[in-house]
Amino acid sequence: MSITEQSATSPRPERTVPRIGLYIIGDEILSGRRQDKHFSKMVELLGARGLKLAWAQFLGDDRAELVAALRRSFASGDIVFSCGGIGATPDDHTRQAAAEALGEPLVLHPEARQLIAERSAEMADKGQGSADMETPENRQRLQMGMFPASAEIVANPYNRIPGFYVRNHTFMPGFPVMAWPMMEAMLDTRYADLHHREAWAEHSFLVFDMPESRITPAMVEIERRWPDVRAFSLPSVGEGSAPHIDLGVKGEPQAAAEALQWLQNEVTRLGGRLGN
């Protein structure tokens, strides 16, 4: 039997953690030209800090679709991380969509302009391009510093070209080598006070020789008896092993531990076999 516990911090019921969401943006993800890596990394970074991902959404490079999604999430109060679409080519629409969703103009952020100029100078020193920000190439680069008027920059340690933050949304490039350090920095600075604020535990064990339908009433009963606990069932049809159910509970640690013991007893009572 395998039991895992994710967190055992003291609860602070007087404060709640906002929901955290993730946008992964780009036609190349939806078409399969590139494989997403942000979802699993976001879950990893949040879990290490006692936080959970409430939702994730894949979006294409469609301006109207992006505006509609961002209007909803700006209005929700959720903390949102967005990866992709903040470049300066015609297929990048995230910056423009964020401004439209907020009803704000796009403006060249002065700090972004300075950082882009510094990056251009660095590249010029290596014989790549010019440090003159009036060249057509560099004026195009400055488009990457055009953000909604109320936005703040988010530092990009990889190449200086910043992302931006506005109304609890952090917008980052689609490249993991850039986005992941930016995610981590925001979690550890702006959202540091949320770490391990809510107590939460998850326990699971394997069940053999039992159909999912037989244990479902017990899962319903758990949520009736322990309102702070949710039961889950992840059946396997036997890929590489005998058919089984990964059965478990998650929620407030003490209640989850009690529900776990009750659920294990119910499995045995109903004729199931607890796996190793």
Domain count, the chain: 2
Residue 10 lies in a domain: no
Helix (H) or strand (E) holding 57: strand 55-59
pLDDT confidence of residue 29: 95
Do 212 and 270 reside in the same domain of the chain?
Answer: yes
Tokens of 120: 């251009």
Which residue range is the domain that position 61 belongs to? Answer: 20-194
DSSP 245-269: EEEEEEESHHHHHHHHHHHHHHHHH
pLDDT confidence of residue 242: 83
- 52, 20 contact by CB (below 8 A): yes
User: Residue 107 half-sphere exposure, CB side, CA atoms within 13 Å?
Assistant: 12
Do 183 and 224 reside in the same domain of the chain?
Answer: no
pLDDT confidence of residue 12: 37
Query: Considering 148, 163, 194, which residue would you say is the last residue of a domain?
Result: 194
pLDDT confidence of residue 199: 85
In whole angstroms, give the CA distance from residue 26 to residue 33: 10
pLDDT confidence of residue 5: 37
Do 32 and 134 reside in the same domain of the chain?
Answer: yes
Residue 11 lies in a domain: no
Looking up residue 237, the CATH number of its domain turns out to be 3.30.70.1130
Do 132 and 51 reside in the same domain of the chain?
Answer: yes
pLDDT confidence of residue 1: 39
DSSP 73-139: HHHHT-EEEEES--SSSTT--HHHHHHHHHT--EEE-HHHHHHHHHHHHHHHHTTSS-S-TTSHHHH
- 201, 6 contact by CB (below 8 A): yes
Do 139 and 168 reside in the same domain of the chain?
Answer: yes
Stretches where the chain sits below pLDDT 70 are 1-15, 238-240, 276
Q: What is the dihedral of CA 252, 254, 256, 260, to 10 degrees?
A: 170
Q: What are phi and psi of 245, to 5 degrees?
A: -125, 130
Do 110 and 240 reside in the same domain of the chain?
Answer: no
Determine whether 189 is exposed, middle or buried from the number of CB atoms within 10 Å of its CB (0-12, 13-18, 19+): exposed
- 166, 98 contact by CB (below 8 A): yes
pLDDT confidence of residue 175: 97
